[in-house]
Structure 1
């Protein structure tokens, strides 16, 4: 269960680059062709499979059982937990006390947990090596919260555990992605609607302290997931709106180059790699229809001189970076979605 090795190669290339306007098209795997060969295991708060004896085996078809920990938290009684569960319980309780406040709604709580995990957990890059080895607890919340590194199943079970502790409906899916490699992700219910969440792929590789995090897979759609995730979605809750997607919450109308730079700076200040903008005057912009979620264009192809100038101005302030753009459907609008890789 690992990220594709090409991620490491691509990330290394980013480290050497400056702001680029070279368009690129990522290769897509066909979900329709691979679904028949992929069995998805979905874990829910009240229907969670028991953990395998070796929770780090790549051959397992279950996820770590976090429910004793979340139930103990809700009951306020961890006395029945074993030593490992107790340590996870303590770390998770500390995180909730640190990042969750009483005035937060469910979306804000979800975002706070997502960002804490991405900022404080590192993908176990040993899985990207030739021998694909990882730590003993890389597939469970102990790896994420105690060791500080894990693989996709560790991210997924940790996020689901936190959602259960906060009483936010959430499920976990173990299936495949890209070249039919094992992968795990979540679905979460916010304000009565279900969304897809892939915390693993929102955590940049290679990781570095203070580096902005990704939000592309935060409360995203089935269509975006289907471009690179392979699973039988027939039993998934219906995902029929983007109202509480990160993109919808962050969408800003702009009327000048200065406005765009300010949006990019604001995103950078709160450690996000993502910006979503729509021009007040569409003249000079090309926003007729949305792109495939893995298609990236240069700034001038989408926003003409205004977006190109804004990107250059932002780059002057932040040194080595790469900016990629795509047209994204957000509600009834087609907006410009930007991804800023700053090093």
Structure 2
């Protein structure tokens, strides 16, 4: 459920068959040399070795390498919201090196999908990620300076560094030339029922609501009171709510390590916990639109060549539909700013914060969104594209 880079298909280097490269360094020493080659080696502050309980899980579940297929290994990585990662593996003499290379290429593609759209800086890091191999050694390099890491790896052996980059996921197209949509189904995309909250808002009676829904309604009422003014057009109301959500909540960084909060997919996460994932953003925006009597539709679809579950919204303004992706407008770099810096940077970041506000369906397709194209209205108008005056 996560979003902006394509990984280039680039198989640029094959090692010479004139003898297998060798090294006298241990895996720990190799990892230390690779980390030391980077401008900020301290980002690799986590370490896993075969002695750690999580090592085997990482090997099998993330890299899809059988534990019996790897003789030894070491993994260095950063926090869950960062893509930084260096992994080194020593394979048995009988192992198929290409199989290990392809597995690590697949991991880079999967990791790119995790960050795709949500964290452009981390996705860019993955764009330049590489897999190196030398003799029985295979290295995964997700680094700020891939060239330096490759050079450091080569220096430990007796060959000149090459680059094996991950292959771009193939995009199957339909008869219209659109990327074929298949719901990935990796995440629970059940939409939270906000009908009771809408009824309570309109009637002024919240006694029938659960305590959770009462809290959701309370924050909604406070937000509407704060940013909605009499005489506003539907466009102005929509924009005010879009910007309020971005400033109020943050993308749940735990999602990058599959540890999103229990309410991350519903309005409680966004409004009360002040963090959530795409379905939380989309259901929250949808709820506000209903409260403000703006016709809306929530779209549950996918991104990154239909490999990641994703959700966004559509609104109807003056009889025309527009697409809105609040999540992708709230990139995680935004929540790293202090409140004072955010106020200063808001104008400078204006375009980035509204890149997916009131755009066409074609724009969404070109920015790697997929959905059931026949079941959703086609947005073609640009009158209310941002900025509109």
TM-score, scaled to structure 1: 0.59
Unmatched 5+ residue regions in structure 1?
18-26, 41-56, 251-343
Q: CA deviation at 1:8?
A: 6.7
Q: CA deviation at 1:97?
A: 0.6
| Match for residue 93 of structure 1 among 187, 203, 221 | 221
Q: CA deviation at 1:12?
A: 5.5
SS in structure 2 of the partner of residue 32 of structure 1: coil
Give the match for residue 159 of structure 1: 285
Cα separation, 1, equivalents of 2:370 and 2:122:
26
Kept in 1, the 8 Å contact 2:278–2:310? The answer is yes
Q: 1:193 to 1:6 in 2, by over 3 A?
A: closer
Matches within 5 A, 1:1-343: 1-3=1-3, 4-6=114-116, 10-11=120-121, 30=171, 32=173, 36-39=180-183, 59-129=187-257, 132-179=258-305, 180-206=307-333, 207=335, 208=337, 209=339, 210=342, 211-212=345-346, 214-227=353-366, 228-247=368-387, 249=388
SS in structure 1 of the partner of residue 357 of structure 2: coil
Report which structure shows greater RCO (CA 8 Å, sep ≥6).
Answer: 1
Q: CA deviation at 1:5?
A: 2.0
SS in structure 2 of the partner of residue 219 of structure 1: strand
Q: CA deviation at 1:6?
A: 4.9
SS in structure 2 of the partner of residue 194 of structure 1: strand
Kept in 1, the 8 Å contact 2:115–2:122? The answer is no
Deviations 1:8-46 (A, max 9, x none): 76425999x9xxxxxxxxx89847358545249xxxxxx
Cα separation, 2, equivalents of 1:121 and 1:242:
28
Structure exhibiting the larger radius of gyration computed from Cα positions = 2
Structure 1 segments of 4 or more deviating over 4 A? 6-9, 12-15, 27-31, 33-37
Unmatched 5+ residue regions in structure 2?
4-113, 126-143, 145-167
Q: 1:86 to 1:203 in 2, by over 3 A?
A: same
Question: For this pair of structures, how many residues does the alignment match?
Answer: 221
TM-score, scaled to structure 2: 0.52
Kept in 1, the 8 Å contact 2:281–2:326? The answer is yes
- TM-align CA RMSD: 2.8
Cα separation, 2, equivalents of 1:10 and 1:59:
22
Kept in 1, the 8 Å contact 2:286–2:298? The answer is yes
Cα separation, 1, equivalents of 2:118 and 2:316:
32
Q: 1:226 to 1:74 in 2, by over 3 A?
A: same
